[in-house]
Amino acid sequence: MALYLRILYIITGLTGVHSITTVSKVSVKTGKSISIPCLYGSQYKNHVKYLCEGPKWRFCRDVVKTNKADPSGKYSISDDKRQFIFTVTINNLTNKNTDYWCVVEISNGPDYGVHFQLSVTRGTPRLYVDHQRITGYVEENITIRCHHSNSGEMKWCRLGRNCVTGSSGSIDGAAVTAHMRDPNVFTVTMSGLKSEDSGWYLCAEGDIQIPVYLNVTEKPITTTAHTFTGDGTITTLKNGQQRASFDVKIFIIRLSVLMCFVIVVLFIWLILRRKQSKADSSATAMVDQEVIYANVGNIRRTSPEMSLPESDGEIMYS
């Protein structure tokens, strides 16, 4: 049935090219992955979308659908119904992966599809970016570097919308500046970002494009957390990024030394306090002790045998 609909599609001349917008040609390296955005009309929001492989529309082979995953894992597909874009990703590219079709399935008529081509090379691609998916923050700037090998005119476009071809311009209200000061590098800066600027963009040179997805979000609040790891270290994390680490054993040793020092100081203080208390108690006892007085008198003895002078009398104490 699907083959019959495609034949009817060709015979009637309903190519469907104007119903879907995507790239025309992308240069990629062998073994890498590439994501291709396919923009469709809002009337197809709830339709099934799929990727078809093959140079001819009549004979292309369905490889992945939004309602049917690819069991091999080579192809994947997602549908952003808010922006009306479905994205297909092709992994582990080879020189056999060259011709594909972005297709919207029509239940009561021929499917709509548009063709794109991959130029898979073992060397450096003709046009590429450092990262195909980037993140920017609201009210800030983002810079994209498009590496190219030719000296043709460079453009920065939003998929399905306008392009900036000179050194400055705007796309949906976001200011765009561009320059080629570095050899073979087209540098694009978007300023005053808004959340509405999230979406797919194209860096283009002639008939070659490279799609770039920009995700604009609120800037996260800086937070710091400490995580204990299994190897005995404490790792300090800031916004999810590793900042510093130190040995927990050193920390424990230093803490133990400090505790010992405090204990010794407290022990000495208690000893001194106890001695001071004893001294105070002794002084109090001496003050309270009863004083006994003695009378001293002269007792003169007279002996019948000898009479001693008065001064020689014995003194008795009592």
Domains of the chain with CATH codes: 2-121 (2.60.40.10), 127-217 (2.60.40.10), 223-271 (no CATH)
pLDDT reported for residue 88: 98
Distances (CA, A) of 290 to 52, 279, 286, 287, 293: 119, 20, 9, 9, 10
- Can you tell me the distance from the alpha carbon of 227 to that of 242, in angstroms, rounded to the nearest whole number? 10
| pLDDT the model gives residue 286 | 57
- ∠ CA 77-83-85, rounded to 5°: 30
Q: Which residues of the chain have pLDDT under 50?
A: 1-18, 240-245, 291, 296, 299-313, 318
User: DSSP 3-state assignment of 241?
Assistant: strand
pLDDT for 234: 53
The two tokens of residue 268 are: 């000495």
β-pair type (174-179, 185-191): antiparallel
Q: Which residues contact 54 (CB under 8 A, 6 or more apart)?
A: 60, 61, 99, 100, 101
Beta bridge partners of 70: none
Q: Are strands 112-121 and 25-29 parallel, antiparallel or unpaired?
A: parallel
Reference 154, options 204, 211, 200, 212; nearest CA is 204
pLDDT of residue 181: 87
Q: What's the pLDDT at 309?
A: 46
> What is the CA angle 129-134-140, rounded to 5?
120
**In 97-254, beta strands by DSSP E:** 99-104, 112-121, 127-129, 133-137, 142-148, 154-158, 163-164, 168-171, 174-179, 185-191, 199-205, 208-217, 224-228, 233-238, 241-247
Q: Which two tokens stand for residue 310?
A: 């008065």
Residue position matching structure tokens 């510093």: 244
In the prediction, which pLDDT does 157 show? 96
pLDDT of residue 261: 86
pTM of the model: 0.65
The pLDDT, as a whole number, for residue 62 is: 95
In whole angstroms, what is the distance from residue 169 CA to residue 178 CA? 9
